[in-house]
A and B are shown apart, each in its own frame.
Chain A
Amino acid sequence: MATAAVTRPGLTSTGPARAGRRRGRGLLVGLAVAIGVVIFWEGAKFLGGTPWRAPLAQPGSPVLWNPPFRWAFANDLNLPHVWNILLTFGQPFQRGADQTVAEYLFGAALYTWREAFLGFLLGTSIGLILATVFVHSRLLERALVPYVVASQTIPIIALAPMITYAFGGSLAAVVVIATYLTFFPVTIAMIRGLRSLDPRALELTRSYAASRWQVYRKLRLPASLPYLFTALKIAATASIVGAIIGESPGGIADGLGRVILTFNQYYITGPEKLWAAIIASGLLGIAFFLLIRGVELAVLRGRPGAADG
């Protein structure tokens, strides 16, 4: 994680070439992990799965391999073949539909991202405002932070239907739920970040007779940015989860939440589709995360440790 140090003498910055090599190696290891998971997955099916048939084949087609054991967790319903999951992306998302599962999921993911992004923006703003207030008032901090913490102990699935009902099943409900999940990490991290200045830095600004606003804008805020981005990366993924959960009880038909519910209902006939939807949700979260990471790298460029976030 990035840390905000006011001064770190003797620290050398990492050369871009070295950072690039490190990133390349990281990708390789990540790929190796994915391959390992696939080997483990298919290995289990090889030993104890449903009899293997050709990819996307109908139940009556010839058996290519009959595993020696029958393990419930590895059957085609619980653990469909990896290739079937991948191939299902190219299939029509429902009988007779023009759109493939991939296109359908992409559209749904984009829709969900828009909701999540609105919630993310709103939640981040609220978090920033709350943290700013708390940093300047110990009284309000002591009085209100417990409520901020308590807000996150309420299970969101209990809250989601109420919020949906309150907002009449509109898009606003989804945004509110995403907001609800994102303001918290930003608030907590920014209370810390806005206080991360060296106390002597505050004495220095006192000797300049700087106003609170000047101290905030010129020192507290820039010093807090590494904390902010750490929180934003958590908030990015949380906002996606919030949006997906928020869509489910409402009548929002265009997002990933509804897609997941639908594919859930048809799980018996097409388990691959639900897996495909899960992959799409994961990719959406990763994409949002990487977007924030990219902004972070641009904003924190030149600071020590910026590349380590």
Chain B
Amino acid sequence: MTASSPAPVVRIAGVDKTFGRGDRVVTKALEAIDLDIARGEFVSLIGPSGCGKSTLLRIVGDLTSPSTGTVQVNGKSAEQARRDRDYGMVFQAPVLFDWRTVEDNVKLPLEILGYDAARRTARAREMLELVELGDFLKHHPFQLSGGMQQRVAIARALAFEPAILLMDEPFGALDEMTRERMNGEVLRIWEQTGTTILFVTHSIPEAVFLSTRVVVMSARPGRITKIVNVDLPRPRTDDTREERRYFELVTEVREALRAGGGDLDDSGTIDGMDAASMERTIAEGAVG
């Protein structure tokens, strides 16, 4: 962590995103998004289903491009940043490969990046120790629980030391207990590695517990309605969830969401999958 660097890791300026066909706008997903993320920050994007928060994360990660506006990562374009392997991605599903052991799953990006064998092994084991799966190197993903699988996915994302970790509702499919435990895990990992995290979530408590800042977005078209600075002390523990300040912040985020309209309780995962699948659908000409 270089505290003296004034330039943000991520600079999002004037980003709009419309899904359309030709000149026809089918959906306006994002409108006038400006956001800077400093090195070592933990920023959560929260908003109702369909507010485009996953789309925004995908734009930052160069999995899709903005209709207007720019994204810069460490002063480079998002595309260049992707080519430089600046992104670690964690999705809602762990997306592990059954034919590879846990260790080999973590090694996958390292193989692609051309690390030599010794370094791959050392790095994969180090990362799996970090997520406390050092005893499961030779297991196959299907032998692990959902929470463990997601930890493997996190280890894999961190393995090549990306500049920023992009997490798209990584714990959305887990039960509440596992989710809280994973929240603690991810905070510990974040503190140990000093990495910058952009985190998409549906859960207000999760966003408040984890973040340095919570970015509240409104329903379609997605706009940033409020940015809540989370001034809870660190380290945050289970006791943090019982502090008065925590509840105040949860309330503040909830009210900001309400002011932005839309229904947060709208079940599940529409955003994450939809942004991706909508693009595919449109690309294949099934819409419009």
Instruction: Give me the interface of A with B, judged by CB distance under 8 Å.
Output: 5-13, 198-201, 203-210, 214, 218-219, 222-223, 225, 300, 302-304
Contacts and interface: CB of A to CB of B under 8 A. Distances in A.
A302 B99 contact: yes
B94 A7 contact: yes
6 contacts: A8-B98, A204-B95, A206-B82, A207-B82, A208-B108, A210-B112
B108 A218 contact: yes
Contacts of A8: 98, 142
B141 interface: yes
B113 A200 contact: no
A209 B112 CA distance: 8
A223 B97 contact: yes
Nearest to A205: B112
B111 A218 contact: yes
A10 B91 CA distance: 19
B85 A7 contact: no
Given A9-B146, A199-B280, A200-B91, A208 B113 contact: yes
B85 A209 contact: yes
Given A204-B89, A207-B82, A207-B89, A6 B97 contact: yes
Interface in B10-34: none
B61 A7 contact: no
B89 A304 contact: no
B93 interface: yes
Contacts, number: 90
A222 B99 contact: yes
A309 to B, nearest CB: 14
B98 A6 contact: yes
B172 to A, nearest CB: 13
Interface of B: 61-63, 82-85, 87-89, 91, 93-100, 108-109, 111-113, 140-146, 149, 166, 276, 280
B89 A203 contact: yes
Given A7-B149, A210-B112, A214-B112, A198 B142 contact: no
A204 B193 CA distance: 21
A199 B276 contact: yes
A6 B153 CA distance: 13
Given A203-B63, A207-B82, A209-B83, A7 B145 contact: no
B82 A7 contact: no
A219 B142 CA distance: 17
Given A8-B142, A9-B142, A225-B99, 4 more contacts: A6-B95, A9-B146, A219-B97, A304-B140
Contacts of A9: 141-142, 144-146, 149
Contacts of B100: 222
Contacts of B98: 5-8, 303-304
Contacts of A206: 62-63, 82
A300 B140 CA distance: 13
Contacts of A225: 99
A303 B95 CA distance: 15
Contacts of A223: 97, 99
Contact of A303 (B61, B99, B276, B280): B99
A7 B95 contact: yes
A-B pairs with lowest CB-CB distance, top 10: A207-B89, A210-B112, A11-B142, A208-B112, A209-B83, A207-B87, A304-B142, A208-B109, A200-B95, A222-B99
A225 B144 CA distance: 23
A7 B142 contact: yes
Given A7-B141, A7-B142, A9-B146, A198 B108 contact: no
A199 to B, nearest CB: 7
A214 B63 CA distance: 18
B78 to A, nearest CB: 11
Given A205-B112, A214-B112, A6 B82 contact: no
Contacts of A214: 111-112
